[in-house]
Each structure stands twice: as structure tokens, then as C-alpha cells.
């Protein structure tokens, strides 16, 4: 079974838009990330359709609520057959533990990862919330909480992947956005890494949006990124 490390972000407002891309992609070379926009537009049946077409899906809904509600949502997501889902570590230890228990056991269970601090948040934004801890230390603290709750890894910048991996034992999943193949447009991403740099820094999976979704030939873009990833191994 292939284990593709490229997670293509389906950042689209409707299933029809996503389909135009998905039709051109190969499930042995990439997985798909469905976030709040597409999920709100197209719903769980669309996620099931992607799975039926052979794609493994990362459901990026970043659950954050009381433990019971998050656990129930995780259970439903697991029943949908998603490969991976995520929650906000700021929901706290009890929420993380409840989410972890809800996804079940066994090799077929969905992977469960945590978001620590949104990269859109700067120190001043945290200060407005009454959080004075340096952002890097807070990220590390929350990753530690997630690791102790039994989660499988974190979404983080590739720069943080190496240091944070220790919280998840040997097999932690370090899922990193902000990836731009050499020569690709940065768009609104500020601190970017190439796929090879990300792998060398400890990423286990890379989230790639526009370098694939806006490519003239998305399949070729995925192939090139996959080849770069392999060469960096």
C-alpha cells in the first residue's frame, strides 16, 4: 500500500471545483485535505465520495469544544472513514484525551493530530488573550500535552517539526504546511520551505495547496513534489 506524504489542500468553495482538480490526481501519490470551507459547502457525503475514489482524507476541521462534544464529532469522523483528523490542543487535556479515546484502536483507526497555536497568532494577539508565555514555549507546551494524551502528532511549521517530535515517541506525525517547491509563488505564506528542506527538518507529511491547485498540470506538480520528497530521504 502506498503511503503518500503529500496532502493536497482542497481549498475550494464547492464540490464541483474540487472535483475538477481531484479528477486529475492519483491517490497513490497524494492524500487530500478537506478543510472548513469545502466541508461546509459539500459535507460528509463528499468526504465519503473522495474515499470511495481511493483517496485517503485528512479532515481538517480543528475541533475545539467541550470534551463530550469533540469526542462525539471525532467518532462520527472516524465512521466516515477519514485517514486523519485534528483538534485544537487549546481545548485542554481532558478534551484531547476524550478525542483520542473516541477515534478507537487498531491500525485502521484515523490518525489524530493537534493544532497548537495558529500561525496567524503573534505574541501581541496572545497578549490580548491574557497569554504572556512566549509563543514558542506555548507551542512546545501544547504539543507536550497532545503527546501525553496519546495523540499521533501535530500540525506545525517544518521549523518546529524536529524539536516537537520528541513529544510523540518514534512515530510522531509532523504535518507541515507552508511548503513551496523551489521557484513556486509564495502567495501569502511568509516563511516557506521546499519539500526537501521540510523532510530534512523532520516533516513526515507536507500540506500543499496552491502549488498544486493552481498548477497548469496538477498531476505533474504532485509528481515533481513526490520525486523531490523521495530524493530527500
- Closest distance between ligand C5P and the C-beta of residue 16, in Å? 19
Catalytic residue among 17, 39, 49, 62: 62
Binding residue for ligand C5P, selected from 59, 87, 151, 208, defined by CB under 6 A: 208
- Closest distance between ligand C5P and the C-beta of residue 68, in Å? 26
Kindly state whether residue 37 participates in binding ligand C5P, applying the rule CB under 6 A: no
Long-range contacts of residues 186-194, Cβ cutoff 8 Å, at least 24 apart: 191/157, 191/159, 193/158, 193/159, 194/228
Torsion 33-35-41-42 (CA) sign: positive
Q: Is 62 a catalytic residue?
A: yes
Q: By rule CB under 6 A, what count of residues binds ligand C5P?
A: 13
Binding residue for ligand C5P, selected from 11, 19, 97, 223, defined by CB under 6 A: 11
Long-range contacts of residues 184-193, Cβ cutoff 8 Å, at least 24 apart: 184/210, 184/211, 185/210, 185/211, 185/214, 191/157, 191/159, 193/158, 193/159
Interface with ligand C5P by CB under 6 A: which range of 50-58, 91-99, 125-133, 207-215? 207-215
Interface with ligand C5P by CB under 6 A: which range of 38-46, 167-175, 202-210, 225-233? 202-210
Site string for ligand C5P, 209-228 (x = CB under 6 A): xx------------------
Name the residue nearer to ligand C5P (CB basis): 103 or 179: 179
Q: State which residue has the least CB distance to ligand C5P.
A: 209
Cα–Cα dist 143/81, whole Å: 25
Binding residue for ligand C5P, selected from 4, 5, 6, 9, defined by CB under 6 A: 9
Q: How far is CA 118 from CA 22, 40, 148, 196, in A?
A: 27, 20, 20, 24
- Closest distance between ligand C5P and the C-beta of residue 93, in Å? 22
Torsion 199-19-47-34 (CA) sign: positive
- H/E segment holding residue 35: strand 31-35
Answer whether 197's CB lies under 8 Å from 206's CB. no
Q: Which residues 130-189 are close enough to bind ligand C5P by CB under 6 A?
A: 155, 177-178, 187, 189
Kind of pairing, strands 205-208 and 84-88?
unpaired
Residues tagged active-site:
62
Binding residues (CB under 6 A) for ligand C5P: these are 9, 11, 35, 119, 155, 177-178, 187, 189, 207-210
Amino acid at each position: 500500500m502506498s503511503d503518500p506524504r503529500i496532502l493536497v489542500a482542497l481549498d475550494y468553495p464547492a464540490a464541483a471545483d474540487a472535483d475538477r482538480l481531484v479528477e486529475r490526481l492519483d491517490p497513490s501519490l497524494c492524500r487530500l485535505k478537506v478543510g472548513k470551507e469545502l466541508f461546509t459547502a459539500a459535507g460528509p457525503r463528499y468526504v465519503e465520495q473522495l474515499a470511495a475514489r481511493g483517496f485517503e482524507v485528512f479532515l481538517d476541521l480543528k475541533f475545539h469544544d467541550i470534551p463530550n462534544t469533540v469526542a462525539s464529532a471525532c467518532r462520527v469522523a472516524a465512521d466516515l472513514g477519514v485517514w486523519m483528523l485534528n483538534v485544537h490542543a487549546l481545548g485542554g487535556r481532558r478534551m484531547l484525551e476524550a478525542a483520542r479515546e473516541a477515534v478507537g484502536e487498531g491500525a485502521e483507526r484515523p490518525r489524530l493530530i493537534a493544532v497548537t497555536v495558529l500561525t496567524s497568532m503573534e505574541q501581541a494577539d496572545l497578549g490580548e488573550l491574557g497569554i504572556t508565555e512566549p509563543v514558542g514555549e506555548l507551542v512546545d507546551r501544547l504539543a507536550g500535552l497532545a503527546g501525553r494524551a496519546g495523540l499521533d502528532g501535530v500540525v506545525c511549521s517544518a521549523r518546529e517539526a524536529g524539536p516537537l517530535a520528541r513529544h510523540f515517541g518514534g512515530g510522531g506525525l509532523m504535518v507541515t504546511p507552508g511548503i513551496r517547491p523551489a521557484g513556486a509563488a509564495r502567495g501569502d505564506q511568509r516563511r516557506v520551505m521546499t519539500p526537501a528542506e521540510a523532510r530534512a527538518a523532520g516533516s513526515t507529511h507536507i500540506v500543499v495547496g496552491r502549488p498544486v491547485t493552481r498548477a497548469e498540470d496538477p498531476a505533474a506538480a504532485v509528481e515533481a513534489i513526490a520525486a523531490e520528497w523521495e530524493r530527500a530521504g
